[in-house]
Amino acid sequence: MQQFSPSETALLSAVDAVPMLAQVQAWSAVNTGTGNLAGLAQQAALLADAFAALPGTVTLEAPAPVEAIAADGSTIAVDYGQHLVLRVRPQAVRRFLLTGHMDTVFPADHSFRQTRWLDDATLNGPGVADMKGGIAVILAALTAFETSEAAAAVGYDVMINADEETGSLSSARLIADLAHGKVAALTYEPSALPDGTLAGARAGSGNYSLVVRGKSAHAGRNPDDGRNALVAAAALAVGLKAIHCDGLSVNPARIDGGSANNVVPDLAVLRFNIRPRDADAESKFARAIEVLIAKTTTDHDVTIHMHGGISRPPKPIDARAEKLFGLVAQCSALLGQPLSRIASGGVCDGNNIAACGVPVVDTMGVRGGAIHSSDEFLIVSSLEERAKLSALVLHRLATGAPL
């Protein structure tokens, strides 16, 4: 088997695993549900201090404006936290992008607040795998990478956003700007399986709201004068489920609306999500929803307005991504940790990066599991494992690994 070069051996020895667990425990103690702006501000300040140890400039970037549809059909603004960006050697010709997220799915009032040991090797806690462990991996890998001579010839940006768990709507433009011109990208979602398996191709994702407006009437005196928005929304939900097929998941998720039992409801809002496997599935959905809206409008004599769209484009594996996956797998095997990969219906910022034409491996974070639940866990030994993997991948990218 191929051996490490002297510079690579020194690089791997420079990975300091000692502070990583304490960082994860401290960061996990801060609730950073996407809507908890105070918690996110506290976390951003902690991360800014931590990443200031690296060369370059740390900034906190304002979230872009985002609108959503309220239960009453009105358009409202949604507030998000600031996004952390570290820019190192921006003048370098060869540059990389590393991304993570500080938000979790656990709101400020959630009962899942503390870490605890499940056994000597496994830590349970909010965000320990998804992805505060991943942030610790980024920091440790880059700290080691900066000790190598190869680092001086390249540059990189690090972005830790505050809204990944809800689709990165306020950071999508920032992601695209940072991805521009990058040779490769690494994203630190936890491994797809606890054994370290990577996520490969990913479906896309889009979230939508259909605002249905009918006409109110008395349910006893003149019900036929009304136009029941709730019934129309139900028809839309059934029609959407009929669009669901192999390669295009369609999930009607919620209907807001209704009125008193003696009133024909004149408003309903249907929420749904789609997961297209590829661009053809996206196009198929666009045609089908247009037909469904037109039919429902006619059949129920209502008006329908659609809000939303694809926030995560499908992420196929092209030739350059295949080479990057090959490099990661090669490096991992040399470290005694053979890797495989599987396709995933889940989505992340890797979708957005790939849509910019940049090859990305987006499960470079820790080994763990049960994410998005109170059973979430981190396999603690994977902190050092994955930091060494990233440091080695970055070194080989910096020394000219072709993509």
- How far is it, in rounded angstroms, from Cα 278 to Cα 259? 40
Neighbours of 397 (CB within 10 A): 22
Residue written as token pair 């072709």: 402
What 3-state class would DSSP assign to 222?
Answer: coil
Measuring CA to CA, which residue among 339, 341, 348 is closest to residue 315? 348
Question: Dihedral sign, CA of 272, 277, 279, 281?
Answer: negative
The amino acid present at 181, given as its one-letter code, is G
Alpha-carbon Rg for the chain, nearest whole angstrom, is 23
Q: What is the 3-state secondary structure (H, E, C) of 168-192?
A: CCCCHHHHHHHHCCCCEEEEECCCC
pLDDT value, residue 174? 98
Peptide bond into 131 cis (omega under 30): yes
Residue whose C-alpha is closest to residue 54's, from 171, 126, 158, 177: 158
Name the DSSP letter for residue 227. Answer: B
Query: Do 6-67+78-202+315-398 and 205-312 come out as alike in CATH topology?
Result: no
How much is the pLDDT for 262?
98
Strands 122-124 and 377-379: antiparallel
- Kindly state the DSSP code that residue 34 receives in the 8-state scheme: T
Q: What are residue 348's phi and psi, to 5 degrees?
A: -165, -170
Residue-level pLDDT at 74: 98
Q: What is the predicted pLDDT for the residue at 17?
A: 94
Domain range annotation of the chain: 6-67+78-202+315-398, 205-312
The pLDDT of residue 61 is 98
Q: Are 37 and 43 in contact (CB under 8 A)?
A: no
Q: What is the largest CA-CA distance in the chain?
A: 88
pLDDT tens string 214-242:
999 999 999 999 999 999 999 999 999 99
The rounded distance, in Å, linking the Cα atoms of 129 and 58 is 24
CA-nearest of 142, 206, 226, 175 to 362 is 175
The reported pLDDT for the residue numbered 2 is 58
**How much is the pTM?**
0.96
- Closest C-alpha to 81, from 99, 109, 102, 57: 102
Q: Does residue 364 have a cis bond before it (omega within 30 degrees)?
A: no
Give the CATH class of 205-312. Answer: alpha beta
CA proximity to 26, closest of 10, 11, 45, 9: 45
> Nearest CA to 154 among 356, 389, 397?
397
CB 240 within 8 A of CB 209: no
CATH number of 6-67+78-202+315-398: 3.40.630.10
State the sign of the Cα–Cα–Cα–Cα dihedral 102, 105, 111, 115.
negative
pLDDT < 70: residue spans in the chain? 1-2
Which letter, b or e, does each residue of 83-100 get, where b requires 16 or more Cβ atoms within 10 Å of its Cβ? bbbbbbbeeeebbbbbbb
Task: Report the alpha-carbon distance of residue 375 to residue 395 in Å, rounded.
Answer: 35
